[in-house]
Amino acid sequence: MDSRDSMAIKTKIIKRPKLGFWENIYFPEVIRGILITSSHFWRNLFFHTMHALGLFKAIRAAVTIMYPEEKRRLSPRLRTRHRLTKREDGSPRCVACMMCESVCPANCIYIVAEEHPDPNIEKRPASFDIDLGKCVYCGFCVEACPEDAIRMDTQILDIAAFSREGMKLNMPELLNPNPHYARVVAKS
């Protein structure tokens, strides 16, 4: 006997239950959905009106955040899009030591180093790119940096792009993260 026969999987046929008259016309479920939605609407309208009058302030009513124009306030500890910090003259603090590039588990940091014109600083990045399409947001690059030159505190979470190439951030973008991302609103 084939060993596969002895391990044959028993199949159990489950018959599709027949729908009754009310289930077939979907009418009760439609009514139930409308009742649930309208009960939320009237509850929120009532409590927002009461709050405007200074009553029932302890009871919360739902607030709609108009995403993407408005966004929730994010925790300052949240790792968001990267940025490169600057010196007082506006140049990057990065000394192109490659620590972040070496530690990155996703291999998504690409740095080209060049000599710094200041003899007190050994190197600087000629180019510094991060491919957010590969990044796993582990924060190792920030931890590894000896110069506090890279941070993940921009509060920018919009990282969608139309192409893989569009997911790459270059040095000017990292030095000046796009500020149009959000109007931060109070927590609802």
Positions in the binding site for ligand SF4 (CB under 6 A): 94-100, 104-106, 108-109, 111, 130, 135-141, 144-145, 147, 149-150
C-beta of 137 vs 181, nearer to ligand SF4: 137
C-beta of 51 vs 86, nearer to ligand SF4: 86
Minimum Å distance from CB 149 to ligand SF4? Answer: 4
Nearest Cα to Cα of residue 154 among 70, 71, 100, 76: 76
C-beta of 150 vs 182, nearer to ligand SF4: 150
Please write down the HEC assignment for all residues of 101-167.
Answer: HHHCCCCCEEEEEEECCCCCCCEEEEEEEEECCCCCCCCHHHHHCCCCCEECCCCCCCCCCCCCHHH
Minimum Å distance from CB 73 to ligand SF4? Answer: 22
C-beta of 105 vs 166, nearer to ligand SF4: 105
Minimum Å distance from CB 57 to ligand SF4? Answer: 42
Number of Cβ atoms within 10 Å of the Cβ of 44: 15
